Amino acid sequence: MTESWFDEQDDNIDYLPAPIYRCIQAELQWDAQAKVHQVCALLADLEHQVMQLIMDCEDEHQRLDRLLDKFFTDWLFSGTNQEVPEYQLNSLCYLLQMHSGSPTSLAILLVHLLEMAHLEANIAINQGDIMIHIAISEEEGYMLDPTNGQQSWYVVPENAPEEDSEPLELVMGEELLKLFLAQQKWAFIGGEKFGHALGCVDMLMELLGDDPYERRDRGYLLNQLDCPKMAKADLQFFVDECPDDPTIELIQLQIAELPDHNNILH
């Protein structure tokens, strides 16, 4: 992928070829210095190596083993025990440069490379954990830990009652970008980077529309950024749209305490 090609897509991320590129492009929303072109070149190199790796390999199991060996042993992608902020580990730009990441960023990258290897792979939410689901057939496949490559093989027994098997929550297409933005939003809030988190909310609202929960989160962030009047409008929208939410009384108290003007910074 050339730099000039990527420049042509800057104004419309809908035309980027895969969700991972949309996640990388999104980082410019909160980090104007993100090395997007450099990172995309690193990703293109990994893609090329994957295609070379599987060129003479028709067996799906063998393709999977080859790719995982390359990813975790040769390229040394992994999670980290070091004190790195979660929002940094979630970053695809950080991951592709440092080869350390969170379960979310590692899963996004690994799913992309598995798809390049002509494997049917998706992020799966399994009891709140980010995993990777690789389907070999309708009845057989792997569950994979994106931080270390540990995998488990499963077979759905014939005539197994559907109620006995808990359906996996698969994340694919545009939902992957939403997951990335939501994870980054909460990581930025945890790191008190409220302006960065607001960038995530703005992008989520472009995807979701006037979602009351994103309006609630935007209200919280605007208040943190000394814009209480705008915050009040967002929080009141949430109260009006979700009157049965268990947090409603707390939010109503917050609204009552907010002034009706925004602070002006000089």
Tell me the pLDDT tens digit for each residue of 126-179: 888 999 999 998 888 999 999 999 999 888 776 655 554 556 789 988 999 999
Q: Which domains does the chain have, with CATH numbers?
A: 3-171 (3.10.620), 210-257 (no CATH)
Using a cut of 0.95, tell me whether the model's pTM lies above it. no
State the pLDDT at residue 38: 95
The C-alpha atoms of residue 172 and residue 179 are separated, in whole angstroms, by 10
| Residue 5 pLDDT level (bands cut at 50, 70, 90) | very low
What are the tokens at 231? 């915050």
Closest of 42, 52, 51, 48 to residue 77, by C-alpha: 42
Under 8 Å CB-to-CB from 225, ≥6 apart: which residues?
Answer: 194, 195, 198
